[in-house]
Structure 1
Amino acid sequence: MPGTLHLLRATGSTSGLNTTRIAERTGDFYAPEAVYTLFVAVAVAVAGALLLAFRRRSAMPLRVPLALAWGGSAATACWGGWLSLSAC
């Protein structure tokens, strides 16, 4: 949920913002929102990797930590690719 909200705000959505904050949006608003989205993706990848690494007779199926690690690392890799392309 937090990642979705930050992603929406980074792409221009005004949901959840008051009128003053909407009027004050500049690059200084959009850049941190994009970085916060990246931080959420990294946190999900780390959580998934830790669940996989320290897995002990857990009731949680193996699919859950695998999906967390896979999704979070994919989002982080895509972000790095986007930064590489936009730097040119």
Structure 2
Amino acid sequence: MTTQANSSSGSCCGSCGSGDPVDVQGVGVTTVYKVSGMTCGHCEGAVAQEISALDGVTAVSAVAKTGEVTVTSAAPLDEAAVRAAVDEAGYELVGRA
């Protein structure tokens, strides 16, 4: 049910290698979330990009192999906002790890 609009080949795996963590510098509250549906570097990048756009987020690291997304923010994030960002990327937030 996961779709990826950002892939030029129509498949998420057609754009592997773009999953470098998004790091916008800073320290604060670190929360680890479980996200389902990530399978490659492109998936990691899409999730990290959407979450990093949330107010207060200073760093994001997504790992497809474990399904874990580590988010550092200035203050605790609203889980509904994180869920919406993950949904926008085309994946499902399972909850906190």
Give TM-score, length-normalised by structure 2: 0.27
Higher relative contact order (CA 8 A, sep 6+): 2
Give TM-score, length-normalised by structure 1: 0.29
